[in-house]
Each structure stands twice: as structure tokens, then as C-alpha cells.
A = this chain, B = another copy of it.
């Protein structure tokens, strides 16, 4: 089910270590040891995070090389971005409202300034 798929993706992204692992994989494939390096974490703790990411389809582990490198799989991230896209007009409206209000604020500021 597409909703469960999205829930799994968002749950996997709801952790700073897992997001940092994905950010590292932007640079290219990496082994579990390499991925664990920047974190003050045991290998099993990192492996647990990798399992969550793998289950969510956000990473894949090569079965060919002995060191089984992890690589980024961006499909679920696209689905998450597509879902968020429906809300874009809301955050753009907020910025538009601010942009529309700004000249008025500046005018008030100037009028206030002249009165002093």
C-alpha cells in the first residue's frame, strides 16, 4: 500500500544518524565500517540503522563485492518529495504574504521615522 510505503520512508528519515548516513552516500558507495566512522556508535548500532534504511528501500547493499558496499536508492525519496509537493503553495503563499506586507512595513517604518 502506497501509504504504508510513505510511512516507512518518513519513519526511516526521522532520525539524524540515518539522515547523516544518506548524506554520506551522496558521495558514493561506502562499507558499513566507513559509514560507522563519523559516529560514536558501535558497528551493531550502525547496522541496525542500515537495516531500517534497507527495509525502507533507501539503500541497497551489493551482494557481489566481499565488503558489500551500501549505495543510495532515491526512489522512496522521490515519492516523499512528490507528497510534499502538494503543500508547496502553502509555504509559497506564506512567503508571498510576507513579500506583500514588507513594503507596508517599510512605509510605516519611514513615516514613523519622519515623525520623530
B-facing mask of A44-68, CB < 8 A → 1, else 0? 0000000000000000000000000
Q: Which residues from 56 to 92 on chain A have a C-beta closer than 8 Å to any C-beta of chain B?
A: 72, 74-75, 77-78, 80-81, 83-88, 90-91
Q: Is A100 an interface residue, CB under 8 A from the partner?
A: no
Counting every copy of the chain, the complex holds: 2
Q: Which of B16, B22, B90, B93 contacts A87 (CB 8 A)?
A: B22
CB <8 Å contact, B81 and A85: yes
Instruction: Verify if A41 is at the interface (C-beta below 8 Å from B).
Output: no
**Which residues from chain A sit less than 8 Å from chain B, CB to CB?**
3-4, 6-11, 13-16, 19, 22-23, 26, 72, 74-75, 77-78, 80-81, 83-88, 90-91, 93-94
